[in-house]
Amino acid sequence: MESTTARHLLEPDDGLAAWLAAHGQAAWRAKAIRRWLFAGRVMAFADMTDLPAAVRAELETDFTIWTTSIATHHRADDGTEKLLLELADGHRIECVLLRDGDRRTVCISSQVGCAMGCVFCASGIDGVVRNLTTGEIVEQLLRLARLLPPHERLSHIVVMGMGEPLANLDRLLPALALAQHPEGLGISQRRITISTVGLPPAMDRLTAENPGYHLAVSLHAADDELRTRLVPVNKAIGVEAVMAAADRYWEASGRRLTFEYVLLGEVNDSPEHARRLARLIGGRAALLNVIPYNPVAGMPWKEPTNDARERFIGVLESAGINVQIRRRKGARINAACGQLRRLAARATSDRPPAGHSPVTQAKQPKSSTAASTTPRMPPSHTAQ
């Protein structure tokens, strides 16, 4: 079975099993190949040394492992690394590795751009271009895993990069299944967080099909007037419907929900906003993740003052809400969603944005042995 178009090995329907059968190879070789990729973190078939050399060469012809290349790689002082990946069609996405104690968390993108239009977010400024494929999502995981030394493993995944994950569930769920698989990355479902702007039909689909993920719902305001201003997609949905869908997910999963609230100076950070928020989420087994706004160049929003932030949290805590302030990681390397991509798009030279320490500027080969040197740096994002 010869093919002229190389198939992407990281797609669910890669055809590898049929290929092996057609080439007289044992079926277990498919597992071995996946083990090389996920546990062995090799870049190329050539490095899969227990495969016969002739088979490796044929696989190299018929299959593509990597469709992305590393456009930039930044590393922050706190160990956060951020990759800007270029896709086969030239679009760019971001993904981040966060180091926190024993945790090795990756933050991945689900779409090129975003259609939700949250007014403070860099990812949606140009709208959505397209969904990522399953293979492109898996490639982010593998490329970030390769940044770790061999004795370290990825422990957590947060789908909080570019895009709205619940608008691309068909491609995201198979990627996350592979992340969980013992022959994949072996990351338990409980350590995978999906962050959504709050799309009730898709939340209900997840409730029905697979409520084991940790769900984070981005609220940013407790009333429809303000939420629709900040999160335009709310206009057709409404806070009440989002909360009802979140409750249904919680009932099915039994796992504590997270609500996210980006604190924008003088916009949604008053004690009255906090009181409304406490009324909205009170009584639930939930964590409130307060995220101080991470400034995006050219946007009019401000970070909250320390006083405003403390007052806001104080009101919620005295109302019995379980609040966590999200520590910012890698802020100097432009943490917030979509920031690095925009900077790269605007850049007229190779100079990195101030405060960054670019490690790899050159594009890497899309496959093959030349790429087997591990990329060595990069990054940033707000940490969970």
SS3 annotation, the chain? CCCCCCEECCCCCCCHHHHHHHCCCCCHHHHHHHHHHHCCCCCCHHHCCCCCHHHHHHHHHHEECCCCEEEEEEECCCCCEEEEEECCCCCEEEEEEEEECCEEEEECCCEEECCCCCCCCCCCCCCEEEECCHHHHHHHHHHHHCCCCCCCCCCEEEECCCCCHHHCHHHHHHHHHHHHCCCCCCCCHHHEEEEECCCHHHHHHHHHHCCCCEEEEECCCCCHHHHHHHCHHHHHCCHHHHHHHHHHHHHHHCCCEEEEEEECCCCCCCHHHHHHHHHHHCCCCEEEEEEECCCCCCCCCCCCCHHHHHHHHHHHHHCCCEEEECCEECHHHCCCCCHHHHHHHHCCCCCCCCCCCEEECCCCCCCCHHHHCCCCCCCCEECC
Is 94 among the residues known to form the active site? yes
Quick one: which of 296, 323, 340, 359 contacts ligand SAH (CB under 6 A)? 296
Using the minimum distance from each CB to ligand SAH, give the nearer residue, 7 or 326.
326
Is 121 among the residues known to form the active site? no
Write down the catalytic residue from 94, 136, 139, 164. 94
Which part of the chain contacts ligand SAH (CB under 6 A), choosing from 43-51, 86-94, 96-104, 189-197? 189-197
- Quick check: 80 binds ligand SAH (CB under 6 A)? no
- The interface mask with ligand SAH, positions 20-59, x = CB under 6 A, is ----------------------------------------
Quick one: which of 160, 172, 176, 215 contacts ligand SAH (CB under 6 A)? 160
Give min distance, CB of 160 to ligand SAH, in A: 4
Using the minimum distance from each CB to ligand SAH, give the nearer residue, 247 or 303.
303
Give min distance, CB of 262 to ligand SAH, in A: 4
Quick one: which of 59, 277, 291, 383 contacts ligand SAH (CB under 6 A)? 291
Quick one: which of 197, 206, 246, 308 contacts ligand SAH (CB under 6 A)? 197
- Quick check: 195 binds ligand SAH (CB under 6 A)? yes
- Quick check: 293 binds ligand SAH (CB under 6 A)? yes
Among all chains, which residue has been given the structure tokens 């006083």?
307
- Quick check: 336 binds ligand SAH (CB under 6 A)? yes
Give min distance, CB of 271 to ligand SAH, in A: 21
Write down the catalytic residue from 95, 107, 121, 337. 337
Quick one: which of 120, 213, 259, 312 contacts ligand SAH (CB under 6 A)? 120
Give min distance, CB of 240 to ligand SAH, in A: 18
Contact footprint for ligand SAH (CB under 6 A): 116, 118, 120-121, 160, 164, 195-197, 218, 260, 262, 291, 293-294, 296, 336-337, 382
The residues assigned a catalytic role are 94, 337
